[in-house]
Amino acid sequence: MPSRDDMPPLEDLREAGERALRDLRQPLEEWLRQHAVIDEEVGADGVVDALAASLGGLLVLRPPAREAVVTRFAPEEVEVLTGRVLPALAEQVDADEHEEVEEDFRAVWYQFFSFLAATGRWSGTPGHLETCLALLGPAEADLLEVLTAAAQDVGPEEEDAAVLASFPVRVAGAVLAHVGEGIAVPDDEELSADDVAALLSALGHPAGEEAAPGLEDVPWLRQVLLAMLDLDLLDGEDETALAPGEEAATWLDAEPGPRELRRDLVGRFVLDDPAALDGGFSVAEALLPTVLAAAVAGQPLDEEELAGLVEEVADLGPAVAAAVDEVRERLADLAAFGIVSATSPWTVARGFWPAVAAGVASEGEEPGGLFGEEGEPLWFDSVADTLGLGDAQKQQIRDILGGR
């Protein structure tokens, strides 16, 4: 990558770029004023000056015989622009803030290509235009980075106020109170039906006059119980007994360690789909990190945007409605538990942000992937079951998908 000494001075580059942009300058400035958000101190003319300087740098690297056409560019040229020219120019402009300056240059070029496309001035191929815009566009945001940065703005008091009163923490507290010094449990069962009924009653969810339900009939309770075992709030090493774990005595303290444990508990409750605790794929579990990150970033998704998100990450065809319903149902459950807003656009209270970040971090995988390594969509069985398809119908669709 060239250093600042490898490029001619900015003024020389700007003059070369201005000559190449001579016929486009006025319409470009007018277009920018109408369609772009521009800093008033910079102005449309300042944007074009920056474009001219970086264009001059790109022209310097073009072969001498290449004509100075500025209405078409190959993707390879844009790679040279972003990989060599813009970093070198950013160093010249401000060595201390060169990364920010480089991003500004990229934004200028993105606007320039948008101008060429919108006004019919692009003279290259449509494929080259699409690729060039993709190379210049903003990098896809890392969901965990977005959530972690937001979580850092939440103070301990604000977090404790939300988390200590949250439904999963209240459930965990009720479980520990019921377990006491220890209780017996059936073989290969986390809790007996009588214990489940007692906990439901204590939490204000009476089992009714019917026979006490088993733990599998109360997914959210089993979800919390398994998380407690994993976080050492409960000790279940003896398969026929359940007792308080090592962390049970201090887990509600206003200290960093217990606070981190509560984050993990609530984060898992939010991000894990209780219907998929024993395996299988959940569309809701895959997409919920994106939905929550949008909320944390101040751009909560509404119903239409949720459907668009599902359509964007996978080509589900007619099954997209079932996938959207699955995500919506999970959001409705979280709303009933007081975690997200009751209606769209879906928001989440600031106090839960650290827990959401912890939940995404604990996944250990990039969220949003809907296709398995061998080709069949991971969502296939989930959506097919939702649609009520039989085995023969499933096989027909697999044949149509042809390995997808």
Write the CATH number for 216: 1.10.10
Please indicate, yes or no, if residue 149 is contained in any of the structural domains: no
Reported confidence tier of residue 235, pLDDT bands at 50, 70, 90:
very high
pLDDT per residue over 295-342, tens digit each? 988 888 999 888 888 876 655 556 678 888 999 999 999 999 999 999
Which of 84, 118, 136 finishes a domain?
A: 136
The span from the CA of 251 to the CA of 245, in Å, is 10
Q: Are residues 245 and 277 in the same domain?
A: no
| Residue 35 identity (one-letter amino acid) | H
pLDDT per residue over 352-363, tens digit each? 999 999 999 887
Q: For residue 382, what pLDDT is reported?
A: 45
Q: Are residues 129 and 94 in the same domain?
A: yes
Q: For residue 68, what pLDDT is reported?
A: 67
Higher per-residue pLDDT: 162 or 381: 162
Least confident of 34-38, 264-268, 347-351: 34-38
Q: Are residues 130 and 25 in the same domain?
A: yes
How many domains does one find in the chain? 3
Please indicate, yes or no, if residue 173 is contained in any of the structural domains: yes
Give the residue from 376, 379, 373, 278 showing the smallest Cα distance to 327: 379
Q: For residue 275, what pLDDT is reported?
A: 87
Q: Are residues 23 and 113 in the same domain?
A: yes
The span from the CA of 265 to the CA of 226, in Å, is 10
pLDDT at 280 over 70: yes
Mean pLDDT of the chain: 82
Please indicate, yes or no, if residue 144 is contained in any of the structural domains: no
| Sheet of 241-244, strands arranged across | 183-184, 241-244, 234-235
pLDDT at 396 over 70: no
Q: Which class for 152: exposed (0-12), middle (13-18), buried (19 or more C-beta within 10 A)?
A: exposed
Please indicate, yes or no, if residue 198 is contained in any of the structural domains: yes
Least confident of 3-7, 28-32, 148-152, 168-172: 3-7
Q: Are residues 236 and 292 in the same domain?
A: no
The span from the CA of 325 to the CA of 306, in Å, is 10
pLDDT at 180 over 90: yes
Angle, CA of 231, 284 and 280, to the nearest 5° = 70
Q: Are residues 70 and 179 in the same domain?
A: no
Higher per-residue pLDDT: 68 or 150: 150
Q: Are residues 278 and 247 in the same domain?
A: no
The span from the CA of 181 to the CA of 280, in Å, is 35
Task: Give residue for tokens 């060595």.
Answer: 95
Give the structural domain span for 117: 10-136
Q: For residue 62, what pLDDT is reported?
A: 73
Reported confidence tier of residue 190, pLDDT bands at 50, 70, 90:
confident
Least confident of 52-61, 127-136, 138-147, 153-162: 138-147
Please indicate, yes or no, if residue 27 is contained in any of the structural domains: yes
Q: For residue 224, what pLDDT is reported?
A: 96
Reported confidence tier of residue 394, pLDDT bands at 50, 70, 90:
very low
Task: For residue 121, give the 3-state DSSP assignment.
Answer: coil
Q: Are residues 126 and 14 in the same domain?
A: yes
Please indicate, yes or no, if residue 267 is contained in any of the structural domains: no
Q: Are residues 122 and 172 in the same domain?
A: no
Reported confidence tier of residue 237, pLDDT bands at 50, 70, 90:
confident
Please indicate, yes or no, if residue 156 is contained in any of the structural domains: no
Reported confidence tier of residue 181, pLDDT bands at 50, 70, 90:
very high
